[in-house]
Structure 1
């Protein structure tokens, strides 16, 4: 994939359908960038326990995993923009209920567990649908720019979002941040209603969603690299979700507080943004090397959480993790859009999502008891060591190590 000039970088915005999709994503991310921290501290206000926080996080992840494969088949079967619009409306309703319960001091842990379960179920459909959009909105030569524009806008919003969320949590409580997120889902659905796309051909469509999933699974096995790479992501994501996003707020609550944690986490968004600026000029030919090394580098915040908890140092660690995330995300998106035909996109992304997220509930639930047994330092440093080990194992697989990108050619990727 060749370097992109600054003029070419902005060219996708001239495409009306992509522009509406892009605006919807900006609004959605603006709210979502605040909700994670707000929900975490809403749980801690009810029950100051890593176990309770892990249960709420797992309640979202379990249905996300359970329904992801079917969600991918459904997203390939129906118009993806319509699927995303419906998912946004449902998510907005769920978040509005959550915000109301928190703002009225009626929220209990089981309420948040139940609502997180619904949210995770909807995400299982919206995730593969979202990741199948750019290749049908843009021609091959503009897709790298499209992916980078989305990454840069998300990064900018995630710089301010966690900081604002931390301030809101510390001053007026987490409910207001959750209420803002609810409103952004509705606005995003309005933008998605303006996207007009013809429904693509489905040459291998079966009579049922299950049949469509079976076809997609067979294709993933034929590719050879999807399932091994996703298995590695499974372990990486389990470690990151437990050691950083469950233990992290617990550590912060006793040290740097919600504002400090929000400021530190925003460093990841800065790294993500800076990384996407650099990637505009970089050609990626060996995507799996970028992905495996990137995941290992993302363990940097764990190292700090297990050794020296300081807001500035953590912000630097999250900056490094963000830069790594931007590189591995672009590498994966470019790989899928080049190697996978349009009618299979959501199913392949769903398979990746399934393997990536399947171990996350285990990590989220077990990290509390494990930290009680071995201490937070032991869990954090052990997770760093495991990330490095998985990177080495992944790169030892020929299908991962030898995969190369050839660039945007009409004979490699279907035109939308």
Structure 2
């Protein structure tokens, strides 16, 4: 009990911020989930749906390298409040367009791009805030807690969103999102005190000089740079997966929006299990080894189950095996970054990391949607029923996406085994 009280005292501000921001993330995730279903039902195109994420990530990636400089100079609290408020205004715009029957797919592209632009300054501010509010000895614990909340969001998002969509409408989902924003906004504004970061080295730097400082740090720390590049390739593969996944589940025989919700919920349960595991595990002897091994397990399981599976239970098994390791990987990666990068540099370095690590995400989403719509689905539709690919991946809409999952499974395994041999990444163990 004494240890629990001490822990609560040391993490008091973090716990308040974490719980309310997680609640807001649930609302945002529900809106995104509902809009993916809405857009696919409107267009029936994997590429059209994938472009929603492309529009979110493209400005985020392009501007992130400069945003860290601004984040290091500006108040962390004000930056987060303004960014969250802007996102809420975009959500209100979607609600109004829905209410008047004027919502079109290009509206979502435009609003997602604006949101992505604001996230460029919000994300590094939030990352540095976590470091400011948390003693170093609790880094692994709070990484596990953040994974835990993300898991809960993943579990509840399809359940609550599908329920509201079925019983009421998509507008109800968006209203819930706005309520969660209001709770998080006023809590952050009134009850969370974020210590000021005194960094004289960046005080008089221009934006370009600060961006260059972040890149220079990565150049001088090759292990961190190579780990970021490793994750960039993984993000490319994962984004192709994310673009193809809803298209396959929604169009496959035995699939549909309920199936999508069930598999997403199982993904959330797997993430929850992984979060609990990392929260109770002692520090590993090799964080780099843990990152490589967990990613290898993830890449070599779920994609194969999606490629060869034809039913919800098989897809769910794949989701469980593929996602249970992700919180363990994320926590070890997070601790490595926070321990190696000085807090005074984290805003600039995290922003440079965001550009390098996440630039492959919009490419992957676009590539995944294009490959499904233009290459793999037409290819499978053109094959005769006796073709061996039909016997392996099935026929009809969704079989092309299944074939694609087989390809990205092979790519994921090759990537993990290749970067595992990188000596610079292993130097981070020292």
TM-score (norm 1): 0.89
Tell me which residue corresponds to 1:271: 270
Tell me which residue corresponds to 2:180: 184
* Structure 1: unaligned runs, 5 residues or longer: 406-416
Tell me which residue corresponds to 1:347: 348
2:279 matches 1:282: no
Instruction: Give the SS at the match of 1:132.
Output: helix
Q: Deviations over 1:326-369 (max 9, x none)?
A: 01110111111211111111222222222222112122112233
Tell me which residue corresponds to 2:68: 72
Tell me which residue corresponds to 2:334: 333
CA distance in 1, matches of 2:324, 2:3: 23
Q: Deviations over 1:185-219 (max 9, x none)?
A: 23212121122133122132143222111112111
2:228 matches 1:230: yes
Tell me which residue corresponds to 1:250: 247
Tell me which residue corresponds to 1:298: 298
Tell me which residue corresponds to 2:385: none
Identify which of 373, 376, 379 aligns with 2:375: 373
8 Å CA contact 1:88, 1:189 repeated in 2: yes
Task: Report how far residue 118 of structure 1 moved.
Answer: 0.6
- Change beyond 3 A, Cα 1:32–1:302: farther
Task: Report how far residue 134 of structure 1 moved.
Answer: 2.0
Tell me which residue corresponds to 1:359: 360
8 Å CA contact 2:239, 2:368 repeated in 1: no
Task: Report how far residue 250 of structure 1 moved.
Answer: 1.1
Q: Deviations over 1:37-61 (max 9, x none)?
A: 2121121132111121122221111
- Change beyond 3 A, Cα 1:192–1:364: same
CA distance in 1, matches of 2:9, 2:94: 35
TM-score (norm 2): 0.86
8 Å CA contact 1:41, 1:169 repeated in 2: no
Task: Report how far residue 168 of structure 1 moved.
Answer: 2.9
Task: Report how far residue 122 of structure 1 moved.
Answer: 1.3
8 Å CA contact 2:64, 2:354 repeated in 1: yes
- Change beyond 3 A, Cα 1:176–1:239: farther
Tell me which residue corresponds to 1:412: none
CA distance in 1, matches of 2:97, 2:288: 44
CA distance in 1, matches of 2:6, 2:323: 22
Tell me which residue corresponds to 1:27: 23
Q: Deviations over 1:57-108 (max 9, x none)?
A: 2111111111111122222222222211211111111112123323443211
Structure 1 residues 16-165: aligned runs within 5 Å: 16-165=12-161
CA distance in 2, matches of 1:6, 1:107: 54
* Higher Rg: 2
Tell me which residue corresponds to 1:307: 308
* Structure 2: unaligned runs, 5 residues or longer: 377-399
Q: Deviations over 1:203-249 (max 9, x none)?
A: 32143222111112111221212221111211211221222x22111
- Change beyond 3 A, Cα 1:48–1:24: same
Task: Report how far residue 123 of structure 1 moved.
Answer: 1.5
CA distance in 2, matches of 1:274, 1:297: 15
2:412 matches 1:387: yes
8 Å CA contact 1:54, 1:246 repeated in 2: yes
- Change beyond 3 A, Cα 1:169–1:56: same
Task: Report how far residue 130 of structure 1 moved.
Answer: 1.7
